Amino acid sequence: MATQDKKYWHLHNHRLFNQLNDEEINGLCIISRYREANKGEMIFFTGESSNRIFILKRGVVKIMQTDANGNEVVKDVLHEHDLFGHIPGTGSGSSYQDEYALAASETVSICTFLKDDFEKVLSQNPQVSLRFATHIGDKMRTLEQKYNSLIFKDVRTRLLEFLVRYVREFNEPGREPHKAPNHLTQEDISQLIGSSRQSVATLLNELQKEGTLDYSRKLISLKPEIFQQMLKTVG
């Protein structure tokens, strides 16, 4: 499949854009860039990266940032259809020089638009704009939940709630709902929940001994009853 055909197929099947006609899709293909990467590969888009929106079309990526001490820190983990970068209406866009995406699954496909071009698409297509607003609203609620969890909940609760959300979001078609492939290290998890790797490792071992969790480098599996019970509270 030619590169242009790949971009067309991915955009046409993206839930933000599947209401657009062929002419509008072709217009988006002209203004977009397309990139594929393999597991462990850093994903950079040279030039104007601080003014671009990225859409993860296939696979899983970790959003990484280098802190003031030169340490690499995991900021988020994203799956198919997630957006990142200079997102309109979120106040994001500062200090992108130290931020990049790292392919966490075997293959990753991403396309990207200039922020200004994407805003034109939103202004000309109310249905796309509404879906985009809904998507951003969902992301903002997730961030609020993470913030509240850091302030009010202990590490064990934060870890369990994170694992429940992770399994729900990264579950694959045909797999039991309480299971998901593991794309994260213990260090990644500790950074995402605001704890230390040692504390996370200890808690994971405790949860496995209790029968609450089956954790390996390839799979995260929660006890079905606990998974269903906690789904009601994690939002």
Distance between first and last Cα of the chain = 40
Confidence of residue 97 (pLDDT cuts 50, 70, 90): low
* Separation between Cα atoms, residue 216 and residue 182, nearest integer Å: 7
pLDDT score of 47 more than 70: no
| Residue 94, pLDDT score | 43
**What's the whole-number mean pLDDT along residues 121-150?**
82
User: Using one digit for the tens of pLDDT, what is the confidence trace for 58-68?
Assistant: 899 998 888 77
| Residue 49, pLDDT score | 62
Classified as helix, coil or strand, 65 is strand
Which of 15-24, 85-94, 127-136, 149-158 is predicted with the least confidence, judged by mean pLDDT? 85-94
User: Using one digit for the tens of pLDDT, what is the confidence trace for 50-95?
Assistant: 677 888 888 999 988 887 788 888 989 998 888 887 665 554 444 4
Confidence of residue 2 (pLDDT cuts 50, 70, 90): low
Contact predicate 141/210, CB 8 Å: no
Domains of the chain: 3-145 (2.60.120.10), 153-234 (1.10.10.10)
